[in-house]
Structure 1
Amino acid sequence: MAGRFRFTLLSRWVLLAFVLLPIHRSSSSGTVQVDARGTRKVCQVVGEFDRQRNVPTVNVTETRFKFWGSDLGASFEHKGKLYVLFGDTHPSGGLARARDADSIAVSNTTNPQDCVRLSFLTEPDGGFRQLQIPGVYSGAFAVPTGGFSLDGRMYILASGDNRERRNIGRSVLARSDDDGHSFRYLYDISRDRMVHVAPVPVPAGQVPDLPVSGGAGLLLWGSGDFRRSDPHLAFLPADAVEQPGALRHFAGLDPVTRSPRWSADEADSVPLFHQPCLGELSAGWNPFLSKWMLLYTCGGPRASTILRTADKPWGPWSAPETLVDPAEQDGECGFISGGRPPQPSQWTRFIRFSRRCPAVSDPHTPSTPGEAYGPYLISRFTQGEPGRSSTIYFLVSTWNPYTVVLMQTRLRVAAGGRVVQDVAPVAPRP
């Protein structure tokens, strides 16, 4: 009986990817617009207390896992559960962990309105388990950027080898055979244009014009120099994930056929569009809108969260639309600190006295403005009405307070819209 259900490595991976990413070849008839009234905070995911709402967080991470703050939160599916990779995690007093250790959590949440209920991997002392890749620096600013599941094994991509307060030097691929409790380094992905990498599994035959027959594998979106680079794209075949020479970089469109060109040489990689401000990013397919979505951090010192959409992984991409602007969220009782004392609210016809907004800033950084960075899409939460609208959910980090919040945004199809950014074609090689 067991023999009848024994799949090959590739077929099992393809089945999993098909379940997680139902991609269709057809595209929507219009461009996608962000509903200006449809973006809001759902909940605060980490930390002990939501100061904006004056309530404990759903995960009370100081009490349960002995850390008071963290950032990022790249998620992926593994063995039917949602795994979430967090960046620099700050332990509570008395816990013997590096101050900027990374961490990993598991969730069974299926309804985003319940927030994201997390169980962090822990050590015998009850504190969170530090995510480490032997031989790869994992201190400040070196963080996991994405993950995927293949044949029962967990793979993650991480940035590393940066010096304190300097740009990150490389991206690496690592594997876990025990569901995230330990990892081993496999190889470098990039030291140039793909340092911050967001992977998306694609099933065989669902995305045309990929560089391998059948097309099963991983699409990798990436950025290079931190918040100073354009986005790039690469592909890794499903049956060669652990072979570094199998990676293929998007090298532009053929000027005649308009088909994508792929190269084993990263130097041939071309930007998907010009906006040299990218930092953290995530991507995913929206089956309700028949669009690829790219969410990314742009600029500084007060970074914003941006969205673009496209019919194909390489574009052409829509104009950028802002999802979360920290300057708009630090106003009247917002959830991001503006680096200044809270101000009294306006009078209303129902309230006859002036109240003050809560101080959302971390106590030790009252003058530090917050940001809206690390937008990580949670694809299992995506909802919508085919061809008309969709609600997406994603995690965003706020820097001050040093925490992660779950956001939701409503998108709608605007018929007759135009795509404003195209990929430059490249001349055929002799």
Structure 2
Amino acid sequence: MNRSLSALTRAGVLAAALSIGLAGPAVADPNIVIPIPGINPIPGINGQPRGLPRLPGVTQAVFQMTGMDSPNRTQNVNVLGTDLGIMWDDGSGRMLTAFGDSAGLGFPNLLVGSVWAWSSQVLFSSTTKDPSQGISFDGVVSNNPLPSPKIPGIEISLIPTAGISVGGVQYLSLMSVASWGEHGKWETNFSTLAVSGDGGRSWAPLTTTRRANVDGYQNFQQNAFLKDDGYVYRYGTAAGRQHPGFVSRAREADIADIDRYEYWDGTEWKPDAKVAAPIVDGVAELSVMWNEHLGKFIMLTTDSTNSVVMRSADRPEGPWSEPQVLVDGPSLPSAYAPMIFPYQTGNDLYFLLSVYNQYNVLLMRSPL
């Protein structure tokens, strides 16, 4: 008799969980990078309380996006735990969300000591424009549309860091991780773009867009996208956390032509990545968007204390304001990768936030 994925999930959860649960909860500090083998997303036995965290400030968690405690029930498509949550409009009114390294049941990645089936990317779709009651997924792309060999020292993962639609074509920016390290450090081979012409259902790598860790491109290994006035702005930082942030841009039609980008040198735009000047300091995973309520561009990232901070600017290149704390680090110490909801929501700011100690993604609301 055939059994559904949800039934298989329920049957396999205990065995998978017990194989790692005895080792105790996952490390709570995301600045100490431990890949999939170190996580336990099973609620109730991962050492974390069930339900949304209650935070002391005005920013609150309002919905769990992924995992077995999520109304989206992503375990039914074998996504028990994941991170990042990069959102963008696909050009036709649908929102695509790309998640990073995701844990599910299946053949484990024994080469790196993981008991999980491990996908480098998974994408969901949604038509939710008002996130006040949560974000509902109504479609999913098969896990690992851009496969990674997951061989330490060669490529351990190929992780999305930004997504955008240009002319109805979808683009993902990804980083090829060669090896993980500690204290917010990891090594990348390159950053690159991938493209989808069918609304995100299938993807192809654009190998001519690879930016290796040399010649100024080391500052664009992790990215964020912004569209403004006919340009695509591609913000960047080096592999890992707590590095300076930089910005490049190209005309929308030239998004996949690496030779057409120009780089902000602190005064003007230049065609050489080596002259790019920092626009902000202490950047981790980041997200940038125009906010109509403030009448400014806003940038979210985390700082050295794992606090979620927001900066604002009148122009994409800045100058950017001093950081304003939205979530204080000690109140949610394993938070990282704040990603802005792509539609305007008045005087409330909604963003996704990854929580490492339960290895899933939360929807947050912060008044502006």
TM-score class normalised by the smaller sequence = 0.7 to 0.9
Match of 2:296 among 269, 291, 294: 291
Amino acid across the alignment from 2:98: L
Amino acid across the alignment from 2:279: L
Q: Hey, what's the Cα distance between the residues in 2 that align with 1:119 and 1:182? A: 17
For these two proteins, the number of residue pairs brought into alignment is 294
Unpaired segments of 5 or more residues in structure 1? 1-35, 50-56, 123-127, 204-215, 254-260, 330-369, 385-389, 412-430
Shift of 1:307: 0.9
Give the conservation status (yes or no) of the 8 Å contact 1:297–1:305: yes
**1:15-414 map, 5 Å:** 37-49=57-69, 57-62=70-75, 64-78=76-90, 79-93=92-106, 98-122=117-141, 128-132=142-146, 140=156, 142-165=158-181, 166-186=186-206, 187-189=209-211, 191=213, 192-203=218-229, 216-253=230-267, 261-273=268-280, 275=281, 277-299=282-304, 303-329=306-332, 370-380=333-343, 382-384=344-346, 390-411=347-368
Q: Hey, what's the Cα distance between the residues in 2 that align with 1:226 and 1:37? A: 28
TM-score by length of 2: 0.74
Shift of 1:396: 0.4
Unpaired segments of 5 or more residues in structure 2? 1-55, 110-115
* SS of residue paired to 2:330: helix
* SS of residue paired to 1:193: helix
CA RMSD for the aligned pairs?
A: 2.4
Give the conservation status (yes or no) of the 8 Å contact 1:133–1:183: no
* SS of residue paired to 1:322: strand
Shift of 1:314: 1.8
Instruction: Report Cα offsets for 1:121-149 as digits up to 9, x if no partner.
Output: 25xxxxx4223168999965641011111
Amino acid across the alignment from 2:326: L
Q: Hey, what's the Cα distance between the residues in 1 that align with 2:149 and 2:81? A: 25
Aligned to 2:11: none
Q: Hey, what's the Cα distance between the residues in 1 that align with 2:73 and 2:244? A: 37
* SS of residue paired to 2:259: helix
Q: Hey, what's the Cα distance between the residues in 2 that align with 1:141 and 1:133? A: 9
CA 1:189–1:218: 2 relative to 1, 3 Å: farther
Amino acid across the alignment from 1:317: W
* SS of residue paired to 2:243: coil
Instruction: Report Cα offsets for 1:202-233 as digits up to 9, x if no partner.
Output: 23xxxxxxxxxxxx120111111311311101
The percent of aligned pairs where both chains have the same amino acid is 26
CA 1:130–1:237: 2 relative to 1, 3 Å: same
CA 1:136–1:234: 2 relative to 1, 3 Å: farther
Q: Hey, what's the Cα distance between the residues in 1 that align with 2:122 and 2:139? A: 7
Give the conservation status (yes or no) of the 8 Å contact 2:106–2:117: no
Amino acid across the alignment from 1:393: Y
Q: Hey, what's the Cα distance between the residues in 1 that align with 2:108 and 2:79? A: 8
Q: Hey, what's the Cα distance between the residues in 2 that align with 1:119 and 1:162? A: 33
Give the conservation status (yes or no) of the 8 Å contact 2:119–2:144: no
TM-score by length of 1: 0.64
* SS of residue paired to 1:317: coil
Shift of 1:303: 2.3
Amino acid across the alignment from 1:294: M
* SS of residue paired to 2:121: strand
Q: Hey, what's the Cα distance between the residues in 2 that align with 1:220 and 1:242? A: 12
CA 1:153–1:95: 2 relative to 1, 3 Å: farther
Shift of 1:90: 0.2
Amino acid across the alignment from 2:355: T
Larger radius of gyration: 1
Q: Hey, what's the Cα distance between the residues in 2 that align with 1:383 and 1:106? A: 19
**1:9-20 map, 5 Å:** none
* SS of residue paired to 2:242: coil
Q: Hey, what's the Cα distance between the residues in 2 that align with 1:313 and 1:237? A: 14
CA 1:136–1:237: 2 relative to 1, 3 Å: farther
Q: Hey, what's the Cα distance between the residues in 2 that align with 1:99 and 1:47? A: 14
Give the conservation status (yes or no) of the 8 Å contact 1:134–1:183: no
* SS of residue paired to 1:99: strand
CA 1:220–1:281: 2 relative to 1, 3 Å: same
Shift of 1:292: 0.8
